[in-house]
Amino acid sequence: MSKKNIEKNLTKALIKGGKLEKKLYDFELAAHTDEYLLSKKRGNYKYFLVVVENTNDVAMLLIDENDVVHINEDARQQLQTLFRKAYDRNMKDSIPQMAKELDTGFLYKCGLNPG
C-alpha cells in the first residue's frame, strides 16, 4: 500500500465522514485497549488516539479524559466535538504523519492534551 493511497483512505474516513470498519477495529485494536490505557496514563495525556489502515479500510480508537474507549464513528465524533472548528485542519495536518507511520507497518498512536 502506498503512502498516497493510505492518505486518501484516511481523508475519506476521517474528514469526509467515510465508513470506519468494525472488523478492522476488532482485529487490530480491540485486544490492545489495556496497553493504550497504560500509554495514556504513562504519558499523562487527557486523550489517546490510535488509527489503523489496512487494505483500504480504516479503524480508530479514542480514549477520553475519563478513560472511556470510543471506537470508529463514535471516536471520530468525539474528536470533532473536542476540536470543534479546528477538526478538519487538525486532521489535514495530521494525516501525512499518520500515513507515514502506517506505511512503515506501525499503528498511528498519539497522546493528546488539548488546551
Residue 8's φ and ψ, nearest 5 degrees, are -60, -45
Question: What is the tens place of the pLDDT at every residue in 9-56?
Answer: 999 999 999 999 999 999 999 999 999 999 999 999 999 999 999 999
Find the domain containing 10 and state its range.
Answer: 3-112
All 3 cell numbers of residue 23?
A: 472488523
Mean pLDDT for all residues in the chain? 96
The C-alpha atoms of residue 114 and residue 5 are separated, in whole angstroms, by 29
Helix (H) or strand (E) holding 39: helix 33-42
Q: What is the mean pLDDT of residues 59-81?
A: 98
pLDDT at 1: 59
102 contacts 6 by C-beta, under 8 angstroms:
yes
Domain count, the chain: 1
